[in-house]
Structure 1
Amino acid sequence: MSGEPTARRGWLADVRPLRHADFRRLWIGQGVSFIGLQLTGVALALQVFEVTRSSLWVGLLGLASLVPLLVFGLYGGAVADAVDRRRLLLTGSLVSWGATLGLLLNTVTGLDNPVLMLVLAAVQATGFAFTSPTRGAIIPRLLPVELVPAANTLNFLVSSLGAAVGPLIGGVVLAGAGFEGAYAIDAVLFAVGLYAAVRLPPIPPAEGVGRPGLRSVIEGLRYLGGHPVVLMSFVVDICAMAFALPKALFPEVVAERFGGSPLAYGWLSAAIPIGSVIMGLFSGWIGRVSRQGLALTFVICLWGLVVAWAGAVSQLWLMVLLLAVGGAADLVSSVWRQTILQTHAPDEMRGRMQGVFIVVVAGGPRLGDLRAGAVATAAGVTASWVGGGLLCAAAVLAAGFAVPAFRRYRSEAAHPAR
């Protein structure tokens, strides 16, 4: 079709969703605040390791975040279906902001209490458990359905950009201003995301949605159980994050191989999102892939294999390069999985499906942190890193080919080039 926009037919990112002011503000706010969130993430992991000298304690940060994500993630999605989503986004954001201020206070007062750090990580995850499914459920209300895949790509792109820039800035900030500097910058940048939420229009629930509670959560899980394609999109992501994510191992690897350099730690932490950013800039083709079930299987298998390779090398530049390739694969899989949820689920179910999505997407890495730290303590950091990547590739192939509906799935949102 000759009138089809060039962005749609080309390889570059489709930026049409940014023409919508509400989405544009939300997108900018998410990107800026995510830089601060990443500053806090790298600072907290490194601070816990310096205080305890244990990768297991770093892994426990993942467990501390996983518990509230599991408890409140599904409930947060149910609430997002039953209340004004703008108001819920603001409330959850304030909870997360308070946790960042608590980490700053813990540091500047000299407490450096690792137990308190775990508690504050759990509080921050609680806020995230409400805001993230709410933000995902808002997008289809702000944009026409044909722009949802492009909007998801832009969201993952800006999040990846923040995840890349944040650790790199973090390495410099930690070397110059310490942990308190990182937490203070996060607290300031978070205000941009709050402003974007304030400017959103009211987004009331769909008619006929009941009060949030256990029954509504069960309804969401029942819906998920009856749709194997959606269910498998969660399963393969759990395999990717629980088995292959090596972030909890970065402090120990930096200490053993790179002399404890904060800059090396920053580069390792930024490597995966750097790859996601590069892929996001050339993502025009992602929405045109129709065989997304089969494609998801292979792209997550690629993620596992390159992560395993990265764990076996000792050169920083090669490790960063391989992790960046993994990050590119991760962005592609994230867009496809999010689009499957947003285009399949009806509006009255989107919050709950986004709640499950956040439990998996945010909870999977925490479970992966715990696995990585525990295995590293028992068998060594290299065995934990390389073995996890190989196990991911094997598990994803087995799971992907075990469900024919997932293997044969074709996306209704795909628009092949003509």
Structure 2
Amino acid sequence: MKAEQRNIFRLLVRGQTNHFGNVIFDYANRLLISRHPVSAPFLMMLYQSSESLAQLIFNLLGGHVADFYNRKRILLVTDLIAALATFVLFLVYNPENIWALILVNTLLAILYSFNSPAYRAVIRDLLSKTAIFQYNSLSKLIAEIVSVVSPLLALVVVSQLGFRYAMLINSFSFLVSAWCEYRFEILHKTESSKSKLGQGLKDGLVYIYKDKQIFYLLLTAALVNFLDAIYTFYLPFTPIFSGFDNIYAYILIAQSVGSILASLIVTWFGKRELGPNQYFYFLIIGSLAWIGLGFAGGSQLLILVLCGIFSGSVTIFNIFFMSHIQTSIQPNMLGRVFSIIFTMVGLFVPLGSMVASWINLQNWSVFMYIGFAQLILCFGVLRLFTKMAKS
């Protein structure tokens, strides 16, 4: 097996093992918080917002570190610390101590702030440009297959073993990730001169601002994440206001199925040249599915179909968007560009959580309002791209 193929295999194992553990961990935590007898909305807002705020604070530093230090070592150290933290949580777990869950989740978010830009940047060190799109499509496909299994296993783990074993599974997944990262073979070493944090981040901001396509995509992604934060906030409450038992788990599965089908579609679309403005047509489809949820509350099957359509449209958008960045940005700028992107996107997640907690609209119409807002956003951005093309 060639070195590049070995790297693809290790990237897939690393990413999907980690994804598997995180899905079970997050599912158990959110379900436990949603059952809190007194402060469920407040605690859900705090759980979601603390994660986003931690990433917001440390993302820029993580991107700078990823560009000027050993990316492989960053991945290895952060995953080992995450494995230790979740294992300690497993040992001291107490279902009444929600604050411990929030604290560990915040620590994981800080580690992720260093891990994520290093991971996305190291792909350019491990793979050729022609292999990056192939890896992103395959990775998303396998990730969603894992996501189908994870909620089912989460149900089994929580019902048969209890919430604490979700922490143990996540700890083991971090260990597997660390082993794969240790075996990475660097094929394209990126050289970058040292720079102070302020100057390095300034260079990244200037780079993004000059690339108007990336700039507009970044602003749109930030606003879409604001809406997605509201959507994610209300999903754990769907069993309460829908009357359908376990609908939350079924929605997660439906979204995974939609993403699997979408990843297969991307394989066909990947042979065609699509401009960044064309990615938004897929988000429009997702917006219409969101709007449909406002009228589908009485049919569990229709709810699942619409959630699958929404997830599939976002999957296609994300694969094209991520591949575009990884192949078009200069290698020595990737860490900072990714950190700036996810920092800007993350700015709107806590705001979305707070707005969702404030309006407290626990019925299907909240998804319809989200859909209308995203639809207006998509048409506005398409108009901007049209003007940019004519100028």
2-side partners of 1:101 and 1:407: how far apart? 52
2-side partners of 1:238 and 1:296: how far apart? 15
Deviation sequence 1:225-250 (CA, Å, 0-9, x none): 11110112222222332114522212
Residue 205 of structure 1, CA deviation = 6.5
For residues 23-62 of structure 1, the aligned pairs below 5 Å read 23-51=8-36, 52-62=38-48
- Conserved? CA contact 1:17–1:150, under 8 Å: no
- The letter for the 2-side match of 1:192 is V
> 2:210 — aligned with what?
226
- The letter for the 1-side match of 2:223 is C
Identity within the alignment, %: 19
2-side partners of 1:361 and 1:155: how far apart? 22
> 2:118 — aligned with what?
134
1-side partners of 2:148 and 2:357: how far apart? 23
1:394 is aligned, of 367, 376, 384, to 376
After superposition, the Cα gap between the structure-2 partners of 1:291 and 1:200, relative to the gap in structure 1 and judged at 3 Å, is: closer
How many residues end up aligned between the 2 structures?
Answer: 388
Residue 187 of structure 1, CA deviation = 1.7
Residue 293 of structure 1, CA deviation = 2.2
Residue 83 of structure 1, CA deviation = 0.8
After superposition, the Cα gap between the structure-2 partners of 1:189 and 1:258, relative to the gap in structure 1 and judged at 3 Å, is: farther
2-side partners of 1:87 and 1:362: how far apart? 25
1-side partners of 2:254 and 2:292: how far apart? 14
Matched, 1:290 2:276: no
Q: Secondary structure at the match of 2:357?
A: helix
- The letter for the 2-side match of 1:46 is L
After superposition, the Cα gap between the structure-2 partners of 1:359 and 1:100, relative to the gap in structure 1 and judged at 3 Å, is: farther
What 5-or-longer segments of structure 1 have no aligned partner? 1-15, 410-418
Matched, 1:183 2:167: yes
Q: Secondary structure at the match of 2:167?
A: helix
RMSD in angstroms over aligned alpha carbons? 2.7
> 2:5 — aligned with what?
20
Query: Higher mean Cα deviation, 16-25 or 31-40?
Result: 16-25
2-side partners of 1:284 and 1:204: how far apart? 26
After superposition, the Cα gap between the structure-2 partners of 1:67 and 1:400, relative to the gap in structure 1 and judged at 3 Å, is: same
Residue 289 of structure 1, CA deviation = 3.7
After superposition, the Cα gap between the structure-2 partners of 1:73 and 1:116, relative to the gap in structure 1 and judged at 3 Å, is: same
- The letter for the 1-side match of 2:263 is G
2:184 is aligned, of 200, 206, 230, to 200
1-side partners of 2:187 and 2:58: how far apart? 21
1-side partners of 2:358 and 2:151: how far apart? 24
2-side partners of 1:18 and 1:254: how far apart? 47
For residues 16-415 of structure 1, the aligned pairs below 5 Å read 20-51=5-36, 52-107=38-93, 110=94, 112-201=96-185, 206-211=190-195, 213-244=197-228, 246-258=231-243, 261=245, 263-314=246-297, 315-359=299-343, 367-375=351-359, 377=360, 379-404=361-386
- Conserved? CA contact 1:38–1:162, under 8 Å: no
2-side partners of 1:405 and 1:144: how far apart? 34
Query: Higher mean Cα deviation, 273-282 or 39-48?
Result: 273-282
- The letter for the 2-side match of 1:169 is L
- Conserved? CA contact 1:217–1:352, under 8 Å: yes
Tell me the TM-score normalized by structure 2: 0.90
After superposition, the Cα gap between the structure-2 partners of 1:140 and 1:19, relative to the gap in structure 1 and judged at 3 Å, is: closer
Q: Secondary structure at the match of 2:185?
A: coil
1-side partners of 2:287 and 2:315: how far apart? 14
- Conserved? CA contact 2:64–2:200, under 8 Å: yes
2-side partners of 1:100 and 1:203: how far apart? 33
- Conserved? CA contact 2:126–2:184, under 8 Å: no
